[in-house]
Chain A
Amino acid sequence: MARILIVAEHDGSDLNPSTAKCVSCAAAIDGAEIDVVVLAANVADIAAKAAEIAGIARVLTVERAENENAVAAILAPQVAALAGDYAYVFGPSTTFGRDLMPRVAALLGVNQVSDIMSVEGSHTFKRPIYAGNAIVTVEAPPDTVLIATVRVASWPTAAAGGSAPVEAASADTELPVHTRYIGLESAASDRPDLQTAATVVAGGRAFGSEENFQLLYALADTLGAGVGASRAAVDAGYCANDMQVGQTGKIIAPDLYIAIGISGAIQHLTGIKDAGTIVAINKDEEAPIFEVADIGLAGDLNSAVPELTNALSK
């Protein structure tokens, strides 16, 4: 039996879908017995949601006022205190997990496996390096607890329909006061979350202005899609930073990805190579994005995008 603890990601009220993706990865390990831990100021709703993930044994909760916001320095000692009962502790490769898990690993005196793409054996995994230009097979030491982040774009969402028991856990550790959460500035949007949307449309520098990005938003709303952008478009100020897709932005795997006015730098392609179908619209027929696109259209986005929106809204 392999006891695995997954640290749930949430925003204080809702469970993030990254948690169910971590469950899929954990389930790929032979003899997995999976617990999910929810650390929050109010655990009930989040824990109830986690309990519905199929294939988990228990949901543990740690309810403390200090856990109101996800501050790695505060969460890490609690996760480390719980790790003693487990052979594996997993978190998602989102900014939440990437911030938290290495701190947990260091408290436990072990290294971490980042961005698990596939499970090859009990301690053997594949992970991307060099912006995904190479895949390395790694083996973690078998005699220590294994801390890892799960590359969420590589794993399906575990099914719902479970009813795991919810138990309060004790992680009584002294928590630091040297780090204080001030606030979150979020570009409010009713569109689907970029990292979990089934369809994503993304725009590049060729849009030319923030105003022209409206063409992209109109297409997204017609399709019910999430919206992403290339680094060039973000750097040019056409849209918010959190829309960036690529090596240093978000790594996504939607069923349909429509890249518009994006040339396709390696760092961008890294973020989309697991998409089901890639569509590219670009003026430049030689753009590298066409080398990976399943369907390509060489044309001017200023006419093609409204035309596409119009055709799809019928």
Chain B
Amino acid sequence: MDKIIVGLKRVVDYNVRVQVRSDGSGVETDGVKMSINPFDEIALEEALRIREAGNANEVIAVSIGSADAQQQLRTGLAMGADRAILVAVDQDLDPLSVARVFQAIAAKENAGLVMLGKQAIDGDNSQVAQMLAALWDRPQATFASGVSIEGDTARVVREVDAGLETIEVDLPAVISVDLRLNEPRYVKLPDIMKAKKKPLDEIALSDLGVEAAPKVRELSYAPPAARQRGIMVDDVAGLVAALKDKGLV
């Protein structure tokens, strides 16, 4: 195949303990560390490995968001993506609109594969890959923990509730990746320098002819109901007694 498109979403870093703003208007993101969505990083790593194995010619990193998302795209370029596209929007796009953006880019670039994280760790929606596959009328292989390219097909192992499912899909296809697919590489300083010279194109949503979909509106935010710290017991006998007391054993 020629090109693989990888989506990189800018999200609050995995290690940040997220706080809801006291007025319930959203989640505090001011001064918070932002990173590539960890699942997207795994998607990029897999795309790079496919290219390095000689099964693709070019890896294109795509992000949709504000100009700040250039940071994440530069990181993606430093990891090894060949070029990057920033679709500039000044508001959060809903998953269906995001899928439409990827569809437009996949068509324009004549992509052989689109690889995305199985979910973004901010909205936890887990929708875009499946929606893109539907709009594009192509196969989807979600929650991938193993990918092998065999000519015009991909064999994908999927992490499903019942175990590990294997499917075979014709390319082009959309793959959403799970945690255990690979361990993303570390970026080295010379790669960061090199990445500065790689092309990063910025395009507007309107340039792609994408119409925003009817949105699921977010009305208010609240912290989750907190669980109270309970009792400590001294030994196993105390534990058994406490369980019996609650009628649990």
Judge if B135 is at the interface, Cβ distance under 8 Å: yes
Q: Are B179 and A106 in contact (CB under 8 A)?
A: no
Instruction: Please give me the residue from chain A that is nearest to B220 by CB atom.
Output: A137
Q: Are A72 and B130 in contact (CB under 8 A)?
A: yes
Chain A neighbourhood of B18, CB < 8 A: 130-131, 133-134
Judge if A48 is at the interface, Cβ distance under 8 Å: no
Known: A136-B218, A183-B165, A255-B248. A103 touches B133 (CB 8 A): yes
Residue from B96, B140, B161, B240 within 8 A of A73 (CB atoms): B140
| B-contacting residues, A74-126, CB 8 Å | 76, 94-96, 98-107, 109-115, 124
Contact-residue bracket for chain A: 35 or more
Q: How many A-B residue pairs have CB under 8 A?
A: 250
Q: Are A140 and B122 in contact (CB under 8 A)?
A: no
Judge if A42 is at the interface, Cβ distance under 8 Å: no
Residue from A134, A176, A298 within 8 A of B224 (CB atoms): A134
Q: Are B124 and A247 in contact (CB under 8 A)?
A: yes
Interface of A is mostly: mixed
Judge if A58 is at the interface, Cβ distance under 8 Å: no
Instruction: Please give me the residue from chain A that is nearest to B28 by CB atom.
Output: A134
Known: A279-B243, A297-B239. A130 touches B163 (CB 8 A): no
Q: Are B235 and A294 in contact (CB under 8 A)?
A: no
Q: Within the assembled complex, what's the spacing in Å between the Cα atoms of A136 and B163?
A: 31
Per-position contact with A for B78-106: 1 when CB-CB < 8 Å, else 0?
00000000000000001110010000000
Q: Are B99 and A106 in contact (CB under 8 A)?
A: yes
Q: Are B167 and A71 in contact (CB under 8 A)?
A: yes
Instruction: Please give me the residue from chain A that is nearest to B135 by CB atom.
Output: A106
Instruction: Please give me the residue from chain A that is nearest to B20 by CB atom.
Output: A134
Instruction: Please give me the residue from chain A that is nearest to B24 by CB atom.
Output: A137
Q: Within the assembled complex, what's the spacing in Å between the Cα atoms of A110 and B123?
A: 17
Chain B neighbourhood of A266, CB < 8 A: 17
Known: A103-B134, A106-B131, A308-B236. A111 touches B221 (CB 8 A): no
Chain B neighbourhood of A176, CB < 8 A: 137, 139
Which of B53-61, B200-208, B209-217 contacts the other chain?
Answer: B209-217
Q: Within the assembled complex, what's the spacing in Å between the Cα atoms of A154 and B218?
A: 20
Residue from B126, B216, B237 within 8 A of A102 (CB atoms): B126
Q: Are B127 and A105 in contact (CB under 8 A)?
A: yes
Q: Within the assembled complex, what's the spacing in Å between the Cα atoms of A311 and B215?
A: 55
Known: A102-B95, A134-B20, A250-B161. A273 touches B124 (CB 8 A): no
A245 to chain B, nearest CB (A): 12
Q: Are B240 and A311 in contact (CB under 8 A)?
A: yes
Q: Within the assembled complex, what's the spacing in Å between the Cα atoms of A231 and B14?
A: 14
Q: Within the assembled complex, what's the spacing in Å between the Cα atoms of A7 and B232?
A: 44
Chain B neighbourhood of A223, CB < 8 A: 249
Chain A neighbourhood of B173, CB < 8 A: 178
Judge if B108 is at the interface, Cβ distance under 8 Å: no
Judge if B227 is at the interface, Cβ distance under 8 Å: yes
Q: Are B233 and A295 in contact (CB under 8 A)?
A: yes
Chain B neighbourhood of A45, CB < 8 A: none
Q: Within the assembled complex, what's the spacing in Å between the Cα atoms of A133 and B19?
A: 7
Known: A136-B221, A144-B214, A231-B179. A297 touches B130 (CB 8 A): no
Judge if B178 is at the interface, Cβ distance under 8 Å: yes
Q: Are A298 and B159 in contact (CB under 8 A)?
A: no
Q: Across chains A and B, which 4 residue pairs bring their CB atoms closest together, nearest first? A: A186-B163, A294-B230, A102-B130, A106-B134
Chain A to chain B contacts (Cβ below 8 Å), 7 pairs:
A99-B140, A99-B160, A176-B139, A180-B168, A182-B165, A242-B164, A278-B230
19 further interface pairs, Cβ-Cβ under 8 Å (given A113-B216, A134-B222, A137-B222): A102-B129, A112-B127, A130-B12, A135-B222, A139-B217, A144-B214, A179-B170, A180-B169, A185-B165, A248-B119, A250-B161, A277-B248, A292-B229, A295-B231, A295-B232, A296-B230, A297-B239, A311-B236, A312-B240
| Chain B interface (Cβ < 8 Å from any Cβ of A) | 12, 17-20, 27, 94-96, 99, 118-119, 121-135, 137-143, 145, 155, 158-170, 173, 178-180, 213-224, 227, 229-240, 242-243, 246, 248-249
| Chain A interface (Cβ < 8 Å from any Cβ of B) | 11, 71-73, 76, 94-96, 98-107, 109-115, 124, 128-141, 144, 176, 178-187, 195, 199, 223, 231, 234-235, 240-242, 247-248, 250, 255-256, 266, 273, 277-279, 281, 290-299, 304, 307-308, 311-312
